[in-house]
Amino acid sequence: MDLLVLVAPLLMAQAPALQVGTPMPQVHQQLLTTGWSVSREANDSEPLSPRQSHLKQRIPALITCSGTGSGYCAYGYSRQGQNLKVVASSDGPLLRWQLGEAWYGEGLSQQ
């Protein structure tokens, strides 16, 4: 059996090289450039407020934002059957991201 066939699924499951603190518009462009697309969940989500509508126009991967507190927002991407969720402070700095069951980023140890 070809080694690439055995290793390819492991390589595809690696979390993207994101950096905490990167502005969300830059993260969005980076993900699109590296083959990620807006997830079905994000495409199907409806903004809950005028603020979210404006944000979704700028970053179509928006799923939802919290209504109170720090205003964290969730964004969704997919690639080759993988789902990636990204959490940022509105359209501000990237805080954390999830690929499969593993979470990465601020306040989390990488797995």
pLDDT surpasses 50 at 45: yes
**Residue 94: which of 38, 23, 42 has the closest Cα?**
23
More confident residue, 49 or 26: 26
Q: What is the pLDDT of residue 10?
A: 45
Pair of tokens at residue 61? 């991967």
Task: Tell me: pLDDT of 3 over 50.
Answer: no
pLDDT at 48: 83
Residue 111: what pLDDT? Answer: 47
Tokens of 28: 């969005």
Q: Who contacts 59 (Cβ-Cβ below 8 Å, separation ≥6)?
A: 24, 25, 28, 75, 91
Share of the chain above pLDDT 90, in %: 59
* Per-residue pLDDT at 28: 97
C-alpha 101 chain-centroid distance:
14
